């Protein structure tokens, strides 16, 4: 079946250093959309990035991700982590007709 896998449940990075959160997926659908959601403490998840185009880089708020259908991946990266980036991050797969699959989440902590 369709699924999303996020590795590294807890990630700690020093402020100013790069960060990469991994996300891979499994699906039989050829046309898909992928999302990264961010959830700050005691708040609802909100969309950070979205992509449906293979091999096209998407950027927002200093984060970027590229959907690679060849490797079934949509990793989230940032070149310089900020203290305010500390949050939960979820990747989510949309296989069409609003059918969403969420990963289990990665908790990012940025330390001074």
Partner 1 sequence: EAGVTQSPRYAVLQEGQAVSFWCDPISGHDTLYWYQQPRDQGPQLLVYFRDEAVIDNSQLPSDRFSAVRPKGTNSTLKIQSAKQGDTATYLCASSSDWGNYAEQFFGPGTRLTVL
3-state secondary structure of 83: helix
Q: Tell how far CA 25 is from the center of its chain.
A: 11
Chain residues binding partner 1 by CB under 8 A are 31-33, 35, 43-47, 50, 52, 90, 92, 94, 96-100, 102-105, 107
What is the smallest separation between the CB atom of 13 and partner 1, expressed in angstroms?
Answer: 19
What is the smallest separation between the CB atom of 2 and partner 1, expressed in angstroms?
Answer: 12
| H runs (alpha helix) in the chain | none
Using the minimum distance from each CB to partner 1, give the nearer residue, 56 or 104.
104
N- to C-terminal Cα distance for the chain? 41
Using the minimum distance from each CB to partner 1, give the nearer residue, 2 or 15.
2
Using the minimum distance from each CB to partner 1, give the nearer residue, 28 or 112.
28
What is the smallest separation between the CB atom of 4 and partner 1, expressed in angstroms?
Answer: 9
Task: Label residue 79 exposed, middle or buried (CB < 10 Å: 0-12, 13-18, 19+).
Answer: exposed
């Amino acid at each position: 079946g369709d699924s999303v896998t996020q590795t590294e449940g807890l990630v700690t990075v020093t402020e100013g250093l790069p960060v990469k959160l991994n996300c891979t997926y499994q699906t039989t659908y050829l046309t898909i959309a992928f999302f990264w959601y961010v959830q700050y403490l005691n708040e609802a998840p909100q969309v950070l990035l979205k992509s449906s185009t293979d091999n096209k880089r998407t950027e927002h708020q200093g984060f970027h991700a590229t959907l690679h259908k060849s490797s079934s991946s949509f990793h989230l990266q940032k070149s310089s982590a900020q203290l305010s980036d500390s949050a939960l991050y979820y990747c989510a797969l949309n296989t069409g007709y609003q059918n969403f699959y969420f990963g289990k989440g990665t908790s990012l902590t940025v330390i001074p």
